[in-house]
Amino acid sequence: MGVAVFLIAFFFLAKGTAGFLMAEVQKRVDLSVYFKENVTEDEVLQVKEDLSQFTEEIQSIDYISKEMANALFQEDHKSDALWLEALEEVEGNPFPASLNIRSDNPAHYAKISNFLEAGDFSDLIGRISYSQEKNQRAIERLFDLNTAMKIGGIAFIFIVGILIVLITSNIIKLTIVARKEELNTMRLVGASNWFVKGPFIAQSILYGAFAVVVVNLLFLGGLYLFNTNIQAWLLRFDLLKYFQVNFLSILLFQFVFVILLGTLSSLVAVRKYSKV
User: Does 214 score more than 90 pLDDT?
Assistant: yes
Residue 131: its pLDDT value, please? 54
d(CA 217, CA 119): 60
What is the per-residue pLDDT across 185-195, written as a single tens digit (0 to 9) for each?
A: 776 777 677 77
In one-letter notation, the amino acid at residue 162 is: I
pLDDT-above-70 percentage for the chain = 89
Report helix, strand or coil for 31: strand
Question: Mean pLDDT score of the chain, rounded to an integer?
Answer: 80
Cβ-in-10-Å burial (0-12, 13-18, 19+) of 90 comes to exposed
Q: Within a 10 A sphere around the Cβ of 245, how many other Cβ atoms? A: 12
CB atoms within 10 A of CB 42: 7
In the chain, CATH 3.30.70.3040 covers 28-136
**Could you tell me the pLDDT band of residue 135, with boundaries at 50, 70 and 90?**
low
Question: What is the pTM (predicted TM-score) of this model?
Answer: 0.60
For the cut 50, the answer to whether the pLDDT of residue 139 exceeds it is yes
Those residues with Cβ within 8 angstroms of residue 257's Cβ, 6 or more apart along the chain or in another chain = 4, 5, 8, 161
CA distance 139 to 131: 12
Answer whether residue 276 shows pLDDT above 50.
Answer: no
In this structure, what DSSP letter does residue 33 have?
E
pLDDT tens-digit series, residues 219-257: 899 888 988 888 888 778 888 899 999 999 999 988 988
Has domain 28-136 been given CATH number 3.30.70.3040?
A: yes
- If phi > 0 it is left, if psi is from -120 to 50 it is alpha, else beta; for residue 92 that is left
pLDDT tens, residue by residue, 148-172: 777 877 787 788 778 877 777 777 7
* pLDDT at position 236: 82
Among residues 36, 98, 275, 48, which one has the least CA distance to residue 176? 275
